[in-house]
Structure 1
Amino acid sequence: MGSPSGPPFDPDDPDRERRERDTEPIPRIGPDDGPGYGAGPGLSDGPSLSDDVGYGDGPGYAGEGRSGRAWIRDPEAAYQPPQISEDELAGLRADATGATPRRVLPLEDEPSSLVARYLFPTERYRGEWKRHWIHLTNPLLIGVAATFVLGYLSGFLAGNNVGALTTIAVLLWFAVMGWVAWKVADWWYDRFILTNKRVMVVNGIVTRKVAMMPLVRVTDMKYEQTPTGRALNYGTFVLESAGQEQALREVKNLPNPNELYLRVVEEMYEPQAVEARLGKEADEAKADDGA
């Protein structure tokens, strides 16, 4: 009698034996049927491949074996966060005693009266700098040279009873010294200013000049140091804005150029870090006052 889903049974069918042979189930070889991959001729005795192990001794995949989903990594299971020791972090922190130097110095609290008039209320003040004393080199050298030359000349003229020329030499010396004093006063009132919105240069005694550039428009910034600048710790800042000539493009003879560069870059790219540092310093100051 034939199967319900197949053709009727025919004992005289010549192809019946071939069909039965072709449809016989393939016997499964268990783990105990022989060593290695299985028993039988032509099979090696190497290690068996099961669904419970990966390749060799290396790390396995996220799945439990090599079949099916074993080739797909689980990103969350495979990712291991980097392990950073406390010794490695120690170099990045300033300790409680302040022994570890800070690359960016603490920010000033309040602007001077000279600068405050140029800031609007919602602007956050970050610091102001006078130019390096090297900026006064030429006026001071001229003053020293004039003192020696005109002093010698006035003495020589006075010894020869040339009173009119002596008076002129003395008056000329006073004029040179007045010019030197003017240059020193101009250096004192010349300030480079940084806020959270812009950089500014304010200079002039009688005629005040205020130049500024918004930080969002600064496309390139660099500083240059000559060998003398590296020895005396000053440099020239160059600021570019969309390739255009600006009133504030080159600022010469600024002190501590590396520290100033880091402060400007921090304000441009990490303003949240600046605010967090300022808040922490304010909290510490309040705690010290309360203690």
Structure 2
Amino acid sequence: MHRDESDRSGDDARRDTEPIPDRDIDAGPVAGRDTGPIPGMRSGPDPEARPYAGAPSEYDGETPGAAPSVASAEYPDPEDPYDGSTGLPTDGPRRVLPVEPEPSSYVARYLFPTEKYRGEWRRHWIHIIIPIVVVVLATFLMGFVSSLLAHYKADIAVTVVVLIWVLSLVWVGWRVLDWFQDRFILTNKRVMLINGLVTRKVAMMPLARVTDMKYQQSPLGRMLNYGTFVLESAGQDQALREVPHLPNPNELYLRVVEEMYEPEAVEARLGESDGESDGA
């Protein structure tokens, strides 16, 4: 019984290792056998089958072995300006924010015809935080003192308190209007500062004479995104030497520096944006 099983296993092993008669592995197709295509089977690649997503193919108009098309799944869509994985623009984040292409009527009167407008900025709202706090406190004090004086029937004193409160409102309104008219302006020739309601003040400094420029941000300024600009011109004390409470100081700093050192780049960027808006 055991001898028969061992003999059978030995015969199987010899059968698996012995070469097949009349068959050479390297001899190619067997003579007389049809080597043509099998009936019902397509010749060549299936146009509906892709090896894998994003792989180059002759159906993309590319030769085998060439670099994958930018329109494949492995690369971002050239028509899509944003990266699907990060959500950021494909050409990198924009350095500066766009501004109005034309100056406001309030600013246009101070620009000469050949001057090119680059932007205008109103001071940060922190510039009027003190008047706002004053009017809030005055309102609470007026209500408390008026009710207290009315309890003692001091009508004249109540009238005086209300009058003081109205004057505080007028003062705060004046400061808010002055803040609303205040402008910091940048052109291709100079920087300007316009303020004042009754007495108008217009100060300017040519960009060609700016020898040093910096901005400072306090901890609160970094939180609320405002800062103080310091401009120096040939060691002289200028009206624009220190301008506090300007918004987006880093953006404004980049705009002024680029206008001073790379005016051609500014013109090129503005020209491209104008062309895109016309095309749109």
TM over 0.5: yes
1:212 equivalenced with 2:204 (yes/no): yes
Aligned to 1:286: 278
Q: Measure, in 2, the Cα distance between the counterparts of 1:96 and 1:244.
A: 47
Q: Measure, in 2, the Cα distance between the counterparts of 1:259 and 1:124.
A: 19
SS at match of 1:111: coil
Which runs of structure 1 show a deviation greater than 4 angstroms over 4 or more consecutive aligned residues? none
Q: Measure, in 2, the Cα distance between the counterparts of 1:278 and 1:107.
A: 11
Aligned to 1:130: 122
Deviation of the 1:101 alpha carbon: 2.2
Deviation of the 1:106 alpha carbon: 2.0
Can you list the C-alpha shifts for 1:67-92, whole angstroms capped at 9, x where unaligned?
Answer: xxxxxxxxxxxxxxxxxxxxxxxxxx
Aligned to 2:81: 96
Correspondence list, 1:9-158, <5 A: 96-97=81-82, 99=89, 100-158=92-150
Structure 1 stretches lacking a partner, 5+ long = 1-94
User: Which of 258, 266, 274 is equivalent to 2:266?
Assistant: 274
User: Which of 256, 268, 272 is equivalent to 1:264?
Assistant: 256
Amino acid of the residue matched to residue 248 of structure 1?
L
How many equivalent pairs are there? Answer: 195
RMSD: 1.4
1:232 equivalenced with 2:224 (yes/no): yes
Which has the larger Rg?
1
Q: Measure, in 1, the Cα distance between the counterparts of 2:105 and 2:181.
A: 11
Identity of aligned residues (%): 66
Q: Measure, in 2, the Cα distance between the counterparts of 1:101 and 1:149.
A: 49
What is the TM-score normalised by the length of structure 1? Answer: 0.65
Amino acid of the residue matched to residue 272 of structure 2?
K
Q: Measure, in 2, the Cα distance between the counterparts of 1:101 and 1:178.
A: 44
Structure 2 stretches lacking a partner, 5+ long = 1-79, 83-87
Can you list the C-alpha shifts for 1:120-169, whole angstroms capped at 9, x where unaligned?
Answer: 11000000000001111111111111111122111111121111110010
SS at match of 2:246: strand
Q: Measure, in 2, the Cα distance between the counterparts of 1:106 and 1:274.
A: 12
Deviation of the 1:206 alpha carbon: 0.9
Aligned to 1:181: 173
Deviation of the 1:96 alpha carbon: 3.0
Amino acid of the residue matched to residue 157 of structure 2?
L
SS at match of 1:121: coil
